[in-house]
Amino acid sequence: MYKILKKRVLNPTVTLMDIEAPMVARKAEPGQFIILRTDEDGERIPLTIADYDREKGTVTIIFQIVGATTLRLNQLEEGDFIQDFVGPLGRPTHTEGLKKVAVVGGGVGCAIAYPVAKKLHEKGVEVHAIVGFRNKDLVILEDEFEAASSKLVLMTDDGSYGKKGLVTDALKELILSGEEYDEVITIGPLIMMKFVCALTKEYGIKTVASMNPIMVDGTGMCGGCRLTVGGKTKFACVDGPEFDGHEIDFDEAMARSITYKDFERHAYEETCNLFKMEVK
Amino acid sequence: MPNMSMVKNEMPSQEPDVRNKNFLEVALGYTEEQAISEAQRCLNCKHKPCVSGCPVQIDIPAFIQKVAEGEFEEAYKIISKSSSLPAVCGRVCPQETQCECKCVRGIKGEPVAIGRLERFVADYHNAHSTEKAEKPVSNGHKAAIIGSGPSGLACAGDLAKKGYDVTIFEALHLAGGVLVYGIPEFRLPKSIVQKEIDGLKDLGVKIETNMVIGKTVSIDELMDEFGFETVFIGSGAGLPRFMNIPGENLKGVYSANEFLTRINLMKAYKPDSTTPVQHGKKVVVVGGGNVAMDAARSAKRLGADVYIVYRRTEKELPARAEEVEHAKEEGINFCMLTNPIEINGKDGWVSNVHCQVMELSEPDESGRAKPVPKEGCTVDIETDCVIMSIGTSPNPLIKSTTEGLETQKWGGIIVDEETGLTSREGVYAGGDAVTGAATVILAMGAGKTAAKAMDEYMQSKANA
């Protein structure tokens, strides 16, 4: 059992938790992920590591409430326990030899982009952070990004905060203004990453995208997380989760990501009803 | 006077048309009377040919004599001298190619039902014994076991009985390995696996779940920082193979591992499960091994019309005859000499499998007749779910994080056959991680072999 030491609501649908998991914290690196089960009989879900503290033995996760399991997770409070918490899984973000990087995050993906930006910043890499949200209410980690970058561009779809527009607009503007990046690292919704990669391909800038497909075990056993990268089948859990963004078949990834959409919507509603009944 | 019936006492089983709609165990097990009657068929041969067919050399005639005398607990004691998992092996061992194929009674008629008797004895013990295994006195030496499948459990059990401080590290949230994620409930109830694991815990074995060796900790850390003198790698062959044909990544295409893991480990067959699995209407299972049969029979139980597609003929099916028989009884369709070459989809979901019709030619390196395409002959099978069951390879996680650990080109860990010793001092391996996908009993045997060598190694080091 793994204790929740801290819980912070970042916005109405996104929550941060520090989990006591010293064995995971020992080895965790930005870009890696964990798998958790909230309770016995729970589903296994992968979540990317948002931060870690080796001394305290904690791992930070940030999750959006999208389905039954994240809804259940969000019902837990500080001092409560999570049944299973395993990791760190996947390969860490490659940070060697980089001098200037644009980190492009979207929505809750910013939670994963942040530790990458932080690590690069700490290593003396010049980091430009471009983060996008649907609107002002959904903005997360603004101060953290501010501290981990030399330039922060915050975008909202509706212009209610920061600049109005998409992260691709901001990235294009920076590229056109003469900024030269060794690499672009992008983490967020598949559709956003697809367009970021299309843009950088145009300008010939190497781009890494962090994938978060459906998984069961996270150790290479089920193959449910497979993607086509450069015409070859890869497992996100052991070969990734980061891949060359110009080689990923995003359309296939998007199709696969909604395999259980109906099941999940149903499970989410059932769980909601359950909680409503408990409240009554 | 021996029972001279030419045929085995029949195994009471659920009716095919009933069991193909539920996940309860198919075979129900002998009654005491049936077990005694079957045991009386054994001629108690002096030269014990059956024992030579058993990978762990259980003294088969001796335990069967005890069954014939109604001394079931005594029979159990004899089996457990050689086997760590009798309730499991009695159910999943391919006895027809091991002990039973050597049985003298099999020359004219059917061999003695050794597997069914083993199962009976183990189940009798589990149901009646209140005796808790006594925790042996600790000898202070620490051994780590990676993986809680059959090889790891056997290795852990033997070492614990000798007084070693044994810790099993399991990557998943539940111990049992392939016994819990792979083999379905209807063939091996999970409560039986749990009973075996509880028995190990009584012996003092510690089980650490959620520990991915190679990620959470490495083998070097286990030995250098955590004080384990020896390590046994029993990480299995968990990496699923795909055919690398177009359309394999369409929605509705599973590896057998994923399909079975969702159903077995994650209980997706239960209506209230939080883990989804597709309930296909018409399911195509590609492959002909035991895993293919398990996947097909599971899909059937979820309500599908199921087709097994295999590129050779029924004669070459690698699955146990009994499994094929059960599958047929349950209404699974077999499409032989058929090989998928493309999977087509509609709206991102699989819609049909385009197959090449095959014919058999000369035997290949494996000794089996080689299937070759029949010119100009293809067939399309409509489907909404495809399960790829064409084999697995050893997981590379440990190899890639353990320096100096030598493996075969295909990933199997190289060991000394007599001891299970790898290219690293103090590190042993066995089971599917070494051999590639094989049987539970072979893995168990390898775990026992390694346990003996690990004991000798630690003792010689202690006495040096």
pLDDT in the model for residue B463:
86
- Which token pair is A69? 């399991």
For residue B213, how many C-alpha atoms fall within 13 Å in the half-sphere facing its CB?
27
With contact defined as beta carbons under 8 Å apart, do B68 and B117 qualify? Answer: no
CB atoms within 10 A of CB B464: 5
For residue A24, the tally of other CB atoms under 10 A from its CB is 26
Q: pLDDT tens, A120-177?
A: 999 999 999 999 999 999 999 999 999 999 999 999 999 999 999 999 999 999 999 9
Q: What is the pLDDT of residue A279?
A: 63
Number of neighbouring beta carbons within 10 Å of residue B326: 22
* Interface-testing mutation among B169, B174, B207, B210, with chain A (most A C-beta atoms within 10 A): B210
Under 8 Å CB pairs connecting chains A and B tally to 107
Tokens of B230: 């020896």
**What per-residue confidence (pLDDT) applies to A152?**
96
Whether B1 has a pLDDT exceeding 70, the answer reads no
Backbone phi and psi for residue A221, each to the nearest 5 degrees, phi listed first: -90, -35
pLDDT tens digit string along B421-433? 999 999 999 999 9
Predicted confidence at residue B454, as pLDDT, reads 98
pLDDT > 90? residue B296: yes
Question: Residue B86, preceding bond cis, omega within 30 degrees?
Answer: no
Domain boundaries, chain A: 2-89, 100-210
Mean pLDDT of the region A175-200? 96
State yes or no: pLDDT of A277 exceeds 80: no
CB contact under 8 A, B273 and A233: no
Evaluate whether A102 touches A128 at the Cβ level (below 8 Å). yes
Q: Hey, are the CB atoms on A85 and B258 less than 8 Å from each other?
A: no
Interface-testing mutation among B170, B173, B257, B279, with chain A (most A C-beta atoms within 10 A): B173
* Chain B, window 130-189: residues with a beta carbon less than 8 angstroms from a chain A beta carbon: 171-173, 181
| Domain spanning A2-89, CATH architecture | Beta Barrel (2.40)
Give the phi and the psi of residue A114 in degrees, each rounded to 5. Answer: -60, -55
Rounded Cα distance, B112 and B246, in Å:
48
Confidence of residue A259 (pLDDT cuts 50, 70, 90): confident
Measured N-to-C along each axis, helices B190-202 and B150-161 cross at an angle, to the nearest 10 degrees, of 30
Residue A268's pLDDT is 81
Q: What's the pTM?
A: 0.93
Measure CB to CB from residue B215 to each of A68, A88, A226 and give the nearest one. Answer: A88
Q: What is the pLDDT of residue B271?
A: 85
With beta carbons less than 8 A apart as the criterion, state whether B152 and B429 touch. Answer: no
What's the whole-number mean pLDDT along residues B167-183? Answer: 96
pLDDT at A267 (0 to 100)? 81
Average pLDDT along chain B:
94
Query: pLDDT tens-digit profile of A94-132?
Result: 888 999 999 999 999 998 899 999 999 999 999 999 999
Q: What is the pLDDT of residues A38-67, one digit of tens each?
A: 998 889 999 999 999 999 999 999 999 988
List the one residue out of B199, B400, B384 whose CA is nearest residue A219.
B400
Cβ contact B99:B60 at 8 Å: yes
Quick check: B395 and A221 CB within 8 A? yes
Alpha-carbon distance A112 to nearest alpha carbon in chain B (angstroms): 19
The CATH architecture of the domain made up of A100-210 is 3-Layer(aba) Sandwich (3.40)
pLDDT band at B360 (very low <50, low <70, confident <90, very high): very high
Q: What is the DSSP string of chain A?
A: -EEEEEEEEEETTEEEEEEE-HHHHTT--TT-EEEEESSTTPPPEEEEEEEEETTTTEEEEEEE--SHHHHHHHH--TT-EESEEEEEESPPPP-TT-SEEEEEEEGGGHHHHHHHHHHHHHTT-EEEEEEEESSGGG---HHHHHHT-SEEEEEETTSSSSEES-HHHHHHHHHHTT---SEEEEES-HHHHHHHHHHHHHHT--EEEE-----SSSSSSS-TTEEEETTEEEEHHHH-SEEETTTB-HHHHHHHHTTTHHHHHHHHHHHHHHHHHHH-
Angle, alpha carbons B6-B10-B15 (nearest 5°): 145
pLDDT digits (tens, 9 = 90+) for B420-464: 999 999 999 999 999 999 999 999 999 999 999 999 999 999 887
Beta bridge partners of A234: A227
> Residue A267 and residue B212: Cβ atoms within 8 Å?
no
DSSP state of B78: H
- Asked whether residue A261 carries a pLDDT value surpassing 90, the answer given is no
Average pLDDT in the A184-212 region?
96
| CATH fold match for the domains A2-89 and A100-210 | no
Confidence of residue B198 (pLDDT cuts 50, 70, 90): very high
As to burial, measured by CB atoms within 10 angstroms (0-12 exposed, 13-18 middle, 19+ buried), residue B183 is buried
Q: Is residue B391 pLDDT above 90, yes or no?
A: yes
Classify residue B362 as left (phi > 0), alpha (psi -120 to 50) or beta.
beta
